[in-house]
Amino acid sequence: MGSTGKFVLLSAIWGSSFALIKVAVDAGVPPVQVALARCLFGALALWLVCAAQRAAVPRDPRAWGHAAVVAVLLNSVPFTLLAFGESKVDSVLAGVLNATTPLTTLAFALLVVLGERVNRTRLAGLLLGFAGVLVLLGVWRGLDGDVLAGGLACLGATTCYGAGFAYTRRFFSGGPHRASALSAMQITCATVQLGVAAPVLSGPPAWPGAPAALALLVLGAVGTGYAYVINLDVIREAGPTVAATVTYVTPLWSTALGVLLLGEPVGWNTFAGAAIVIGGILLTRHPAPDRAKA
């Protein structure tokens, strides 16, 4: 499967994750427990993939150190923030706000990724995509109360993602090891981190009911297991800025699931925003020119 196919598949998996998180938090699962469950099931799935592929896992302590940092930036903190955000807002809004990730990724990539350049066309794509998000969100209606708290939590998660994408490209995605092995290291570190934090922040876990348990299982095994193998491949093949534009597409999936499964109404701004977002993606995926050939 090429990078474009992986990009589309990843957007579909992560787009559905917002509905799964919503099922869990509505069942009363604390945000940090949602994050722990998805990392635990994700780690188990990834180690099964590694065993099937006979993928060698790095033993270098430095590699595990980088994995721990990536786990904080891409899993432990943002997963908890997203779950908290969805305890205040609906899954469609959370999915839309998640589309700001490419902007934060661009800022961090320019700081830490050697050779990462953004020309005017790609920058215009990022700005156009962000404008599309604002149209999807319907910002003219305003945000207040729980919506503001939940929105800020979701935006905090995207800031973590921006740093995480850039850090992964600079320090963690290189080398000869399979994406499944590196992803298993990352999600295992996140599971350990959350396993320490969850009892302190929320107490011992409780059975949330079959629907929520199933949602967490799928969220972890697919959305935090298999999806992270695809994500690391896209970062390797296309770079962190392009890889992060997957979050421009996830709102389209989360909105579609809201309409088809939850019967939520969709206004004109959903279609207009979707068109603008797609235009932004096309511009952002335009490669930066090689200055050596200029």
In this prediction, residue 34 carries a pLDDT of 97
**What is the tens place of the pLDDT at every residue in 117-165?**
667 877 787 788 778 877 876 777 765 667 778 888 988 998 898 888 7
Handedness of CA 37, 41, 42, 44 (dihedral sign): positive
Average pLDDT on 175-200 reads 89
Lowest mean pLDDT among 73-87, 140-154, 192-206: 140-154
Tokens coding 285 = 């995926």
- Give burial (CB, 10 Å; 0-12/13-18/19+) of 181: buried
Q: Which residue would you say has higher pLDDT here, 216 or 279?
A: 216
Question: Residue 186: what pLDDT?
Answer: 92
Q: Provide the token pair at 199.
A: 């009892």
- Mean pLDDT for 95-106 is 75
**20-30 average pLDDT score:** 93
Token pair, residue 129, equals 């995509």
Q: Exposed, middle or buried: residue 187 (CB in 10 Å: 0-12, 13-18, 19+)?
A: buried
Say which residues have a Cβ less than 8 Å from residue 20's Cβ, sequence separation at least 6.
Answer: 215, 216, 218, 219, 223
Burial 156-172 (b: 16+ CB within 10 A, else e): bbbbbbbbbbbbbbbbb
The answer to whether 116 and 110 have CB atoms below 8 angstroms apart is yes
Q: Higher confidence at residue 29 or residue 114?
A: 29
pLDDT value of position 10: 86
Say yes or no to pLDDT of 196 above 90: yes
Q: State what percent of residues in the chain have pLDDT above 90.
A: 31
CA dist., res. 242 & res. 232, Å (int): 12
Rounded average pLDDT over 57-72: 90
**Which amino acid, one-letter code, is at 54?**
R
pLDDT of res. 212: 94
pTM score of the predicted model: 0.82
- C-alpha angle with apex 62: 60 to 68, nearest 5 degrees? 110
Mean pLDDT of the residues in the chain: 82
**Exposure string over 219-229, b if 16+ CB within 10 A, otherwise e:** bbbbbbbbbbb
Mean pLDDT along residues 200-228:
91
- Could you tell me which residue, 234 or 23, shows the higher pLDDT? 23
Of 117, 136, 138, nearest in space to 128 by CA: 136
Band of pLDDT at residue 211, cut at 50, 70 and 90: very high
